[in-house]
Amino acid sequence: MKRRTGESAQRGAALRGAETFPWKAAVGRLLAWYRSSARDLPWRRDRDPYRVWISEVMLQQTRVSTAGPYFERFLRRFPTLEHLAEAETDEVLKAWEGLGYYARARRLPEAARAIRAAGGFPRDAKALLSLPGFGPYTAGAVASIAFGLPEPVLDGNVRRVWCRLFALGEPDGGDLRRRLWDLSRLAVQSGPPGDVNQALMELGATVCGPRRPACPTCPLRRECAAAGEGRPESYPVPRARKAHPEWAVAVALLWRGDRFLVTKRPPGGLLGGLWELPGGKVEEGESPEGALAREIREEVGADCEILAGLPVVRHAYSHFKVVLHPFDCRLAPGSPPPAPAVPHRWILPEERGSLAFPAATNRIFERRFAAEDLRAAEEPASFGEGERE
Ligand code: SF4
């Protein structure tokens, strides 16, 4: 007889627990709880695939409270798939500014064009998965919520619920992920798939939170192995945290008259397609001022003169941190004329709102232009003859 490998034996063990799990009863209680307790969120008001798609991409990277206003603004700017398919990447990045993970935003108009070319959203998960930017989570969410197909989802909230419900204490990895997807697949067989998926995510977000889960109010309390053990917070096992490197970066507000220089990042990679201030990494043994002079020479082909140091801004990305040292600068006397090798613009301070910048750059702007912004806000509006306030 063929022997089972360690992996399949372990996986089988998890699924054995799942086989005796009272799916119908538990999912029934979960759905009853969801229908009475779910938060009223803007993307839950209908099942339009376009709205479901946009909301799910946003929710993969941010909290519901942050995503709400972004979602409303995005839908005002691009109310339909057609509007998004016609959009320039820059416009989409501007609407996405501050949400992070800009690669996802860049792929939205690309996917919208593919969906339009196909005559609408495909109604099966495999075809959805082939669209630009669609991973298993997005495909599962759109297929189940918009089209009622029995397709699973797995996000951080659902992962936490499954790990606790079945007391899955192994470290994160391929084995665990496969089991969790298997559990999600079983769940959507036991009720309306879109509601089941949303109820699981809602439970993880509001009741079964990372700290102090509200077990006494949980509709799955009866079946929950971790709560039965009296230590729900021990699951899931925390992911091993890697130390994130920290880099110092010097950047310039390089002024020419009343305008300063901004450059555009290449379309791929981190913050791709966003605008930024010229500058770069401070190398070992270099001062921020020295690094800035070198970077401006390399990047802009000019020599700069520092006028003033501006407040330092710290920012954490998913895998590293930066400490930004901004400076007000102008071209040094006798400098060659600036000739940036990358797309660039010389903008007035008030024009910065029309371009998409990384969050850290916007924080530099907020501090640098706080006084000007306040003055502009306080200036009395001028009224034409006959107009009234
Ligand atoms: S009983 Fe507690 S630990 Fe278990 S799923 Fe519910 S909230 Fe989470």
Q: Using the mean position of ligand 1's atoms as its centre, give its distance from the Cα of residue 232 in Å.
A: 7
User: Is the CB–ligand 1 distance for residue 221 below 6 Å?
Assistant: yes
Pocket test for ligand 1, best of 30, 161, 168, 223 (most atoms within 8 A of CB): 161
User: Whole-angstrom Cα distance, residue 263 to residue 224?
Assistant: 53
User: Whole-angstrom Cα distance, residue 40 to residue 38?
Assistant: 6
User: Is the CB–ligand 1 distance for residue 161 below 6 Å?
Assistant: yes
C-alpha 294: how far from its chain's center?
A: 33
pLDDT, position 129: 96
Ligand 1 atom 8, closest CA = 208
Q: Using the mean position of ligand 1's atoms as its centre, give its distance from the Cα of residue 25 in Å.
A: 16
pLDDT, position 3: 41
Contact between 150 and 144 under an 8 Å Cβ cutoff? The reply is yes
Q: pLDDT tens-digit profile of 214-241?
A: 999 999 999 999 999 999 999 999 887 7
* Average predicted confidence (pLDDT) for the chain: 90
Angle of helix 193-206 relative to helix 23-37, nearest 10 degrees, comes to 70
What token pair was written down for 75? 């839908």
Strand 321-331 versus strand 246-256 pairing type:
parallel
Atom of ligand 1 nearest to the CA of 225: 4
Confidence of residue 15 (pLDDT cuts 50, 70, 90): low
Atom of ligand 1 nearest to the CA of 221: 1
Ligand 1 atom 1, closest CA = 221
Q: Using the mean position of ligand 1's atoms as its centre, give its distance from the Cα of residue 215 in Å.
A: 5
Q: pLDDT tens-digit profile of 88-140?
A: 999 999 999 989 889 899 999 999 999 999 999 999 999 999 999 999 999 99
Q: Using the mean position of ligand 1's atoms as its centre, give its distance from the Cα of residue 346 in Å.
A: 55
Q: pLDDT tens-digit profile of 190-221?
A: 999 999 999 999 999 999 999 999 999 999 99
Locate all alpha helices (DSSP H) within 132-253, ordered by sequence: 136-141, 147, 156-165, 174-187, 193-206, 225-229
Catalytic residue IDs: 56
pTM over 0.75: yes
User: Is the CB–ligand 1 distance for residue 224 below 6 Å?
Assistant: yes
User: Is the CB–ligand 1 distance for residue 291 below 6 Å?
Assistant: no
Q: pLDDT tens-digit profile of 333-364?
A: 999 999 998 999 999 999 999 999 999 999 99
Strand partners for 264: 275
pLDDT, position 379: 64
Pocket test for ligand 1, best of 207, 234, 235 (most atoms within 8 A of CB): 207
Q: Name the nearest CA neighbour of 26 among 241, 229, 189.
A: 189
Confidence of residue 332 (pLDDT cuts 50, 70, 90): very high
pLDDT, position 388: 33
Q: Using the mean position of ligand 1's atoms as its centre, give its distance from the Cα of residue 20 in Å.
A: 18
- Give the dihedral of Cα atoms 228, 230, 232, 238; nearest 10 deg: -120
Q: Using the mean position of ligand 1's atoms as its centre, give its distance from the Cα of residue 335 in Å.
A: 66
User: Is the CB–ligand 1 distance for residue 164 below 6 Å?
Assistant: yes
Pocket test for ligand 1, best of 29, 164, 183, 212 (most atoms within 8 A of CB): 164
